[in-house]
Amino acid sequence: MLNLRRFRSIFLSLLLFMMFFVPQISMAETLDNNVPDASPAASVPILKSAISLPMAGARATNQLNSARWLVHKDAVEGTSKLRLVIDTSDPVIVSSTLDGNGPQLVLDIKGAVVGDVDDSITLDGQIAEKVRFIKKDGNNSQAVVDLPAMIDDGDYKVFTLKSDTANKKSFRVVVDINKPVPKVVYNFTPGLRNKVIVIDPGHGGSDPGAIGPNKVQEKTVTLAVAQKVKAMLENAGAKVLMTRQTDVDVYGPNASAVDELKARTIVANNNKADVFVSIHINAFSNPTVGGTATYYYQKSNYDALLANCIQDGLVATGGLQDRGTYSAGFYVIKRTTMPSILAELGFISNPAEEKLLSTYQFQQQMAQGIVQGLDKFFSQAAKRGGGL
């Protein structure tokens, strides 16, 4: 009996084993066998990775992601400053210049392309009009800030900031622009008496300017003509300031070109001159090219008028070919706050004009032309009734 009971017990145990454990082993084998089937599932992230590789690459490329701005007003000093902040993915190298086509601040941003930032953002209109983001190439970009008026180097600053993870801030390019000086409202009167006129003899000192085929130097001619203009204007009752009265550098020896030119504009700006006249001599590779031309930068309604009047005077008294008047961004006429012109009396590279320019009589004729032009300008400007 005991053996029979033991047999039944063993049989029942075997039966239970077959019913419950063998299927479990079979399922386990099936999951294992499905490992290869799991490969496509495992390959999903690989596929995503393949798609995202370019995305990952794009993310790895430094970008201009956004830009924002505000105007800060100092309640104590009464000054205003516009701050423009450009967010970038990673650090960048930024350089800036005010030399653009018109009143512009141009930022060259090395190491970042234009990303999600808007192509153009309108600013306050008083300190800066808008900023435009431009692709330069696959690694670099440019931000161009359009200004309502030209500013000076000391009126803005550009710097970068590191990322600030604690405050969730990325790398940033920061531009601070101070509010420009209000535009001058002009109210000219006719005549030369009591007018404050700055005469700028081009070049000087270590900078001879253009040199003619017979070694006549531009700086010598411009100073000679300027001195004659000064004498005539003072005889007419004007107050004349010269940026240089001898053969010297205005800023000083070994100065940068910008420092030298800026020193000339300071003479006019600090003395609140009525007009600024810069005298130069042209040069060209073709020695047959000649003539007189006058340049202006349109800061007011009077710059082109001044250029036209002086050009007419120079052509009338000098008799050289009339090459006309042109708008140009020369430093000294762009950075002076009053109506300003730059006159190219003739071509020193033209042997015939070089000879004329070196004579006392022709220098006197050109000086007379400038004075006649100034007198005509004040007469016509007075008729306009004043304004910007």
**In Å, what is the CA distance from 64 to each residue of 124, 126, 128, 272?**
21, 25, 20, 42
The contacts of residue 9 (CB under 8 Å, 6+ apart) are none
152, 218, 248, 345 from 215: Cα distances, Å:
36, 9, 19, 17
Known catalytic membership, residue 234: no
* Whole-angstrom distance, CA of residue 339 vs CA of residue 297: 8
Tokens representing residue 107 in the block: 């930022």
Q: Report how far residue 123's alpha carbon sits from residue 81's, in angstroms, rounded to the nearest whole number.
A: 12
Whether 237 and 282 have beta carbons less than 8 Å apart is answered as: no
Query: Which one from 29, 129, 260, 344 is the annotated catalytic residue?
Result: 344
The answer to whether the beta carbons of residues 265 and 153 sit under 8 Å apart is: no
**DSSP of 310-373, one letter per residue?**
HHHHHHHHH---EEEEEE---HHHHS-SS-EEEEEEEETTSHHHHHHHTSHHHHHHHHHHHHHH
- Residues with a known catalytic role: 344
